[in-house]
Structure 1
Amino acid sequence: MKKIALTLTLICFGAGLMAQITDPKATEVWDPVPRKITPGKNGAAPSDAIVLFDGKNLNAWESKNEGKPAAWKVENGYMEVVARTGDIQTKQEFEDFQLHIEWSAPTVIVGEGQGRGNSGVFLQGIYEVQVLDSYESKTYSNGQAAAIYKQAMPLVNATVAPGEWNVYDIIYKAPRFNEDGIKVASGTVTVLHNGVVVQNHHILSGTTPYIGLPQNPAHGPGPIALQDHGNPVRYRNIWIREL
């Protein structure tokens, strides 16, 4: 009974305080002030972004193979996967972020399903947002373009035709692990594909393996990685904002 009485007292006390606020200025926050930035136009990087690829070189990237130089092709303002040279990743590592990346599937149609315009964007080098020519080709739904690979199918298929540019805007919050390597908070991913929400605050259940169930190995910050799946997928205009 004492606990119930105490709870009722606190509720009544709180309600009384709320009833006493009559000045609108009492709920105004003036400090701190959000810092001012210059937003980009038409997908350009805002002033506080880190530009990872501006169409000129791969200086921000390296091969996932022992940190060797990235061997993908750069021309005409884009980078292109060179088959069998391996995945590439950023030299810099990140935790929570907003990522903008544009990609284009090959115009020469080869293969079907997972063999057609396949690549991937790996958040922290671990969690894959699928890149695939899903304009007309069929595959399993949780493996098509904009899927969190083998975890979550996109809400809709917003893929444009091969040769046209797809845009991913990804908002990512990394999972957290304690000192014992136990996950204490799950990661989340929101994806806009060509301006359309296709992953709405998806809670990551773990890694995105080709075979088997998600795992949860402890980790800290990690790179952005792009996959060499053997298809000449192109990327351009890649920038990131740390959150």
Structure 2
Amino acid sequence: MIRIAVLLSLLAAPALAKEYLTGKQWQEPTIITPGETCGAAPSDAVVLFGGEDLSAWNGAERWSVKDGDMVVGKGKIYTKQEFGDCQLHIEWSAPTPPKGKSQGRGNSGVFFVSPPGKNGFEMQVLDSYDNKTYFDGQAASIYKQTPPMANAMRPPGEWNVYDIAWTAPTFDDAGKLKSPAAITALHNGVLVLNHFELLGDTPFDRPPTYEGYTSRGPIGLQDHGNPIRFRNIWVREIKAPVGEQVREPWLR
């Protein structure tokens, strides 16, 4: 009886599953140290503003630092360093008490690939708390292209957080577009853009275009006449995992 029980248990046991192997030999992922608190810069980040000075930016002579915050002044500023695919963390606060309405209230913008003389690709900064405007121009929109999937604004005077994954456009040797820019973004921890592919740059007064752009460029912040404050700005270059195909995929 014992032998029959053992045989029955073996027949009932599931067959050992096969394992799929990619045949790739991967490099070990880079070890980094996360920030000690939520939103703090990790060890491999480039800090663009840490509360002390504006040395990472061009054109910031007429902007200021007050109480550890960057305060919008006159003229657009842009980073001295250029970036392609990247992760950007930036925090901003609209003026309180609020003044103005629609696009005239707490307006600025975060621009990718935005050198002098080029519009760039804008994710809108705007006080959209109890402030109606056109939907593709409110906070966390891609300006004139898509609204965010939700309005996650905090009240004026409180801090908003953008965490953005930017995929830069790519071009062939003749400058023709190969793949469009794409953006995924969280606003105060809420997913508001999910790999949205941009139609081109984001001007106010003409259709979007990729003409004249490259895959890398500075990050810009806009002066729209409102004293927006920024803090804790950092960026990481995005690099794909590295591996080499050493044999065909197989099951073992």
Alignment pair present for 1:52 and 2:48: yes
The total of aligned residue pairs comes to 216
Task: Name 1:92's counterpart in structure 2.
Answer: 81
What CA deviation, in whole Å up to 9, does each residue of 1:120-173 have, x standing for no partner?
000111000000000011100000000000001000000100100000000001
Q: 191, 194, 199: which is aligned to 2:193?
A: 199
**1:45 CA drift (Å):** 0.2
Q: Is contact 1:177–1:218 with CA below 8 Å preserved after alignment?
A: no
**Residue type of the partner of 1:240?**
V
Q: Relative contact order (C-alpha < 8 Å, sep 6+): which is higher?
A: 2
- CA RMSD, aligned part only? 1.7
Q: Distance in 1 between matches of 2:195 and 2:185?
A: 8
Q: Is contact 1:70–1:88 with CA below 8 Å preserved after alignment?
A: no
Task: Name 1:135's counterpart in structure 2.
Answer: 129
What percent identity do the matched residue pairs reach?
55
Task: Name 2:177's counterpart in structure 1.
Answer: 183
What SS does structure 1 have at the residue aligned with 2:61?
Answer: coil
**1:31 CA drift (Å):** 3.6
Task: Name 1:37's counterpart in structure 2.
Answer: 32
- Normalising by structure 1, we get a TM-score of 0.85
What CA deviation, in whole Å up to 9, does each residue of 1:178-228 have, x standing for no partner?
121210111100110000000010001101110121111132211110000
**1:32 CA drift (Å):** 1.3
- Normalising by structure 2, we get a TM-score of 0.82
Q: Distance in 2 between matches of 1:190 and 1:108?
A: 31
Q: Which has the larger radius of gyration?
A: 2
Q: Distance in 2 between matches of 1:38 and 1:28?
A: 30
Alignment pair present for 1:117 and 2:112: no
Runs of 4+ displaced beyond 4 Å: 25-30
Alignment pair present for 1:77 and 2:77: no
Q: 140, 152, 155: which is aligned to 2:149?
A: 155
- Select between 158-167 and 218-227 the one with higher mean Cα deviation: 218-227
Gaps spanning 5+ residues in structure 1: where? 1-21, 64-68
